[in-house]
């Protein structure tokens, strides 16, 4: 049990990247900080704390979620995927592979959120149009302005997913 001994802390069980974690934290504590501070999963980023930038995006099931606005109590018991849980061992997830190949980042701080949003998009639309990518991803900010490469990376990821399935 992590995070013991805090005032009004409660026990929660989180299912993160396929592993069960027990934490003892305040019910209001944002999932973002439970992931980062209690579970050491710092790939999920704080960008704005107001759900406007997407840097804190994780997947709840297959749905992208702003972890900065989600109290841990609302995420308990549900299947959560963070950036650390996408790859299978050494093998990168197609979206990760596509971002790497197209170098769709500069400082990289938005990258986790971008990759998870794109992953959710491709679950819904395996071959999205450019406009569908823009519409779906518009809540994710890349302040370095790497947007065009990110669009390219999502297209590339769609290709990789298709070829992976076909293989």
Q: Which residues bind another protein (CB under 8 A)?
A: 3, 5-7, 25-26, 28-30, 33, 36-38, 40-50, 52-53, 55, 82-84, 86-87, 92, 96-97, 99-101, 103, 105-112, 115, 133-135, 137-151
Q: Which is nearer to another protein, 71 or 166 (CB)?
A: 71
Q: Which is nearer to another protein, 55 or 76 (CB)?
A: 55
Least distance in Å: CB of 154 to another protein?
Answer: 10
Q: Which two tokens stand for residue 109?
A: 């701080």
Cβ proximity to another protein: between 20 and 90 the closer is 90
Of 18 and 40, CB closest to another protein: 40
Q: How far is the CB of 103 from another protein (least distance, A)?
A: 6
CB of 65 to another protein, least distance (A): 16
Supply the minimum distance, in Å, between the C-beta of residue 61 and another protein.
Answer: 19
What are the strands of the beta sheet with 19-25, ordered from one edge?
Answer: 19-25, 10-16, 79-81, 57-60, 63-66
CA distances from 127 to 26, 28, 155, 156, 161 (A): 41, 38, 7, 10, 10
Q: Where are the beta strands (DSSP E) in the chain?
A: 10-16, 19-25, 57-60, 63-66, 79-81
- State the minimum distance, in angstroms, from the CB of residue 1 to another protein: 14
- The answer for residues whose C-beta is within 8 angstroms of residue 129's C-beta and 6 or more apart is none
Q: Give 122-163 as a 3 state SS string.
A: HHHCCCCCHHHHHHHHCCCCCCCCCHHHHHHHHHHHHHHHHH
| Shorter beta-carbon distance to another protein: residue 20 or 28 | 28
């Amino acid at each position: 049990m992590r995070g013991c001994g805090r005032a009004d802390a409660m026990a929660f069980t989180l299912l993160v990247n396929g592993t069960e974690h027990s934490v003892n934290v305040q019910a209001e504590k944002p999932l973002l900080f439970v992931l980062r501070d209690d579970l050491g999963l710092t790939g999920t980023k704080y960008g704005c704390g107001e759900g406007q930038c997407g840097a804190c995006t994780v997947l709840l099931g297959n749905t992208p979620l702003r972890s900065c606005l989600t109290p841990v109590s609302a995420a308990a018991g549900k299947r959560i995927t963070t950036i650390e849980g996408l790859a299978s061992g050494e093998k990168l997830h197609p979206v990760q592979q596509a971002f790497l190949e197209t170098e769709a980042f500069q400082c990289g701080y938005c990258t986790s959120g971008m990759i998870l949003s794109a992953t959710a998009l491709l679950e819904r639309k395996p071959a999205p149009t450019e406009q569908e990518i823009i519409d779906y991803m518009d809540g994710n900010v890349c302040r370095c302005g790497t947007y065009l490469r990110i669009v390219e990376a999502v297209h590339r990821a769609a290709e990789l997913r298709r070829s992976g399935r076909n293989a």
